[in-house]
């Protein structure tokens, strides 16, 4: 489907707005941080990638998440990346800033004195390495919400943190503070979404953080996804979301009727998901972006570029999948 048929920017997209009033519904992107061949911040690529996402249907963007390699940026580089993305998007899309630490006092001190101009919310991951109890997790996020001037989105990704935020703790946090507006749920288990949606306030955002389970998650009540794959192919991810959002409605707008029906067994990006995550994120997606002439595939140690064999497979997939062109 031609992107020109739907103005997909969330701020004017009533096809999403009619269903969900949050600016963080739809397809969000965990955006990469582009590096030059010398491994410096690539300013030109940031502007190019930002336009690519805006003009192809993305609802909002997460800066300095896992995919943005925030852990290998120093403070000066983080400030530079923030300012560049803010200037590149120029208010066209809502921006979320990733800010996380396993030291509660440190992250609270940082947030309480930080200049969040240009950002609409904070996303913070479950404390890693320490392996806190559920009470420790609750107190960590409660303390963050107490000092944060912005809404807070929790981030549950036990595959990386070795610590899982239970649904009961999520509900308890949602009741503790109205600043805690949602969760990026990346456990990979869509049944968690079903259980949480039944028990939590209907306005609390449940956002899938797993490209592989996006379809099941949205059908089970998730409000959208923060996607890695959408860095490369925002349009098809946006079309997929809109189709899922309206699939149970008998009287769809004509423009929605034109979208392809979504079947998880033949969803065209399934093979792409497997390729880009095979040797780690964001190395895979960065090579895909290189194939699309959007940025280099440079990552910083301890991450490394993907193997030549995988590069060939991703390049071949992109060259043969004409639906994206």
Active-site residues, by number, are: 155, 184
- CA 81, CA 46: separation in Å to the nearest integer? 8
What the block records as the tokens of 19 is 């269903």
* Beta strands at 60-63 and 26-30: parallel, antiparallel or unpaired: parallel
The set of residues, in sequence order, having a beta carbon less than 8 Å from that of 312 and lying 6+ positions away, is none
- CA 130, CA 245: separation in Å to the nearest integer? 38
Per residue, the 3-state secondary structure of 149-216, as one string, reads: CCCEEEEECHHHHCCCCCHHHHHHHHHHCCCEEEEEECCCCHHHHHHHHHHCCCCCEEEECCHHHHHH
The set of residues, in sequence order, having a beta carbon less than 8 Å from that of 54 and lying 6+ positions away, is 9, 89, 92, 93
- CA 227, CA 26: separation in Å to the nearest integer? 10
Question: Measured between alpha carbons, how far is residue 236 from residues 49, 231, 247, 323 in Å?
Answer: 16, 11, 16, 9
The residue behind tokens 């049944």 is 191
Helices (H), the chain: 14-17, 43-54, 75-89, 104-112, 134-147, 158-161, 167-176, 190-199, 214-219, 234-246, 254-257, 270-277, 283-291, 308-320
- CA 159, CA 95: separation in Å to the nearest integer? 25
DSSP state of 35: B
């Amino acid at each position: 489907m031609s992107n020109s048929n739907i103005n997909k920017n969330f701020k004017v997209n009533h096809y999403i707005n009619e269903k969900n009033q949050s600016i963080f519904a739809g397809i969000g992107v965990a955006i990469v941080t582009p590096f030059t061949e010398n491994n410096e911040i690539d300013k030109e690529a940031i502007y190019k990638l930002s336009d690519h996402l805006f003009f192809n249907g993305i609802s909002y963007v997460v800066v300095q998440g896992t995919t943005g390699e925030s852990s290998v940026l120093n403070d000066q580089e983080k400030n530079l990346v923030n300012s560049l993305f803010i200037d590149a998007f120029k208010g066209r899309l809502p921006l979320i800033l990733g800010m996380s630490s396993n030291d509660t006092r440190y992250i609270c001190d940082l947030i309480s004195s930080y200049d969040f101009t240009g950002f609409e919310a904070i996303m913070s991951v479950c404390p890693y390495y320490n392996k806190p109890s559920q009470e420790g997790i609750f107190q960590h996020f409660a303390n963050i919400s107490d000092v944060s001037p912005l809404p807070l989105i929790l981030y549950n990704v036990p595959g990386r943190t070795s610590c899982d935020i239970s649904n009961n703790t999520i509900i308890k946090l949602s009741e503790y503070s109205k600043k805690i507006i949602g969760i990026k749920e990346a456990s990979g288990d869509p049944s968690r979404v079903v259980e949480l949606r039944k028990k939590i306030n209907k306005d609390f955002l449940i956002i899938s953080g797993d490209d592989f389970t996006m379809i099941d998650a949205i059908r089970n009540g998730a409000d959208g996804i923060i996607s890695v794959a959408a860095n490369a192919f925002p349009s098809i991810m946006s079309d997929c979301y809109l189709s899922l959002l309206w699939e149970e409605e008998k009287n769809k707008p004509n423009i929605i009727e034109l979208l392809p029906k979504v079947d998880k067994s033949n969803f065209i990006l399934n093979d792409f998901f497997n390729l880009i995550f095979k040797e780690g994120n964001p190395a895979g997606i960065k090579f895909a972006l290189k194939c699309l002439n959007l940025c280099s595939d440079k990552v910083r140690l301890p991450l490394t570029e993907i193997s030549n064999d995988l590069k060939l497979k991703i390049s071949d997939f992109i060259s043969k999948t004409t639906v994206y062109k």
